[in-house]
């Protein structure tokens, strides 16, 4: 075996060990995002991202991280539909649900940043200063915060519900909700279905 081949083999073994230990993913590329969004949304890195317009997209982002072993906490969201959350891949074994932080929002978030990989925030009240501190702390501890209305967030994912399909005038039932997800300059159509978030239907080109 040549020198180069030995080094390559050693690198491969190290990479595999890192993968198995779960550190290769988080330090380098961040948590993966659902395949339907992969084209427009970058992997979830430590920091802060705002998701506006669709809770399903939030659940799908958290769910695909949870599938990879991330610990997820929900703060201030008593209204989550857990069946939908499970559909999107959220593992209830690695989940903490804090329905209302009761005025201690900043303290609770700071405590969670020490132990959880992904924190999803809903109805919370924190001031600008605390936001900055938490954002910075999260980035250091390797925590991703998915929020809705953080003022300091630079990354924003916007979703718009277009139509629901599967029923008409009382006949049939809702089978999918079509939405458009936009991040940065790009946008992608997707569908919320029984099997989670899927890529949207191919649009026919306008002749």
Partner 1 sequence: MLGLFRGVVRVPDWPVAAAIASSLAHPEDTFAVCDRYVRAVSPAARRAGIAVGDTRRRALSLCPDLTIVDRDDDRDERMFTPVLDAVGEHVASHFLVRPGLVMFAADPPVATAGSPGALAEQLIGSVTEQALECQVGFACGYLASILASHDDRCIGPERTRGFLAGYPVGSVLLAAPDDRCRRDWAEVVDTLSGLGMSCLGDVAAVDHSDMISRFGRTGSVLWHLCNGADYTSTRRSDRVLEYSVSRHVEEISRAEQVAFLAKGLADELADKLARSMQVASELTVRARFDDRMERSRTWSIDGAGSARDITDRVRWQVSGWLDSDQELGSLIFLELTVSGLDAAGATHVSLFGDGRRAAEQAQRAVLRVQGILGDAGVQSVSIVGSRTPGTVTATENWSTSPARRTPDLPWVGAIPKPWPSIVFPTPPRIELWCRCGSVLYVSADNQLGCTACPDPGPGYLRLATPEEERPDPCFAQAACTYVGRVQVWNYAGPWCVSGRWWDAGGYRRAYLQCDVDGGPPALLYRSGVEWYLEGVYS
Residue 22 found at the interface with partner 1 (CB under 8 A): yes
Residue 31 found at the interface with partner 1 (CB under 8 A): no
- 52/155 Cα distance (integer angstroms): 11
Site for partner 1 in 107-126 (CB under 8 A): 107-108, 111-117, 122-123
Minimum distance between the CB of residue 28 and partner 1, rounded to whole angstroms? 14
**Cβ nearer to partner 1, comparing 115 with 184:** 115
- 4/21 Cα distance (integer angstroms): 26
Residue 202 found at the interface with partner 1 (CB under 8 A): no
Site mask, partner 1, residues 54-73, x = CB under 8 A? Answer: xxx--x---------x-x-x
Residue 193 found at the interface with partner 1 (CB under 8 A): yes
- 177/161 Cα distance (integer angstroms): 7
**Cβ nearer to partner 1, comparing 41 with 57:** 57
Minimum distance between the CB of residue 73 and partner 1, rounded to whole angstroms? 8
Phi, psi dihedrals of residue 138, rounded to the nearest 5°: -60, -40
Reduced to 3 states (helix: H, G, I; strand: E, B; else coil), residue 56 is helix
- 71/86 Cα distance (integer angstroms): 14
- 52/157 Cα distance (integer angstroms): 6
* Tokens found for residue 145: 């915060």
Minimum distance between the CB of residue 100 and partner 1, rounded to whole angstroms? 7
The residues binding partner 1 (CB under 8 A) are 17, 21-23, 53-56, 59, 69, 71, 73, 76, 78-87, 92-102, 104, 107-108, 111-117, 122-123, 161, 163-164, 166-177, 192-194
């Amino acid at each position: 075996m040549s020198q180069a081949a030995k080094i390559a083999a050693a690198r491969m073994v190290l990479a595999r060990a890192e993968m198995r230990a779960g550190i290769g993913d988080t330090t380098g590329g961040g948590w993966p995002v659902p395949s339907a969004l992969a084209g427009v949304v970058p992997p979830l890195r430590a920091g802060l991202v705002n998701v506006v317009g669709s809770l399903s997209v939030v659940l799908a982002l958290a769910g695909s991280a949870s599938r990879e072993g991330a610990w997820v906490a929900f703060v201030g969201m008593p209204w989550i539909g857990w069946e939908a959350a499970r559909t999107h891949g959220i593992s209830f074994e690695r989940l903490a649900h804090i329905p209302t932080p009761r005025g201690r929002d900043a303290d609770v978030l700071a405590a969670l940043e020490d132990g959880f990989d992904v924190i999803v925030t809903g109805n919370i009240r924190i001031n600008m200063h605390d936001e900055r501190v938490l954002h910075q702390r999260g980035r250091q501890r390797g925590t991703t915060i998915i929020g809705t209305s953080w003022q300091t967030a630079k990354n924003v994912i916007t979703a718009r519900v277009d139509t629901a399909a599967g029923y008409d005038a009382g006949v049939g039932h809702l089978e999918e909700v079509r939405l458009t997800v936009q991040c940065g300059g790009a946008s992608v159509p997707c569908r919320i279905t029984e099997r989670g978030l899927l890529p949207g239907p191919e649009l026919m080109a306008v002749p």
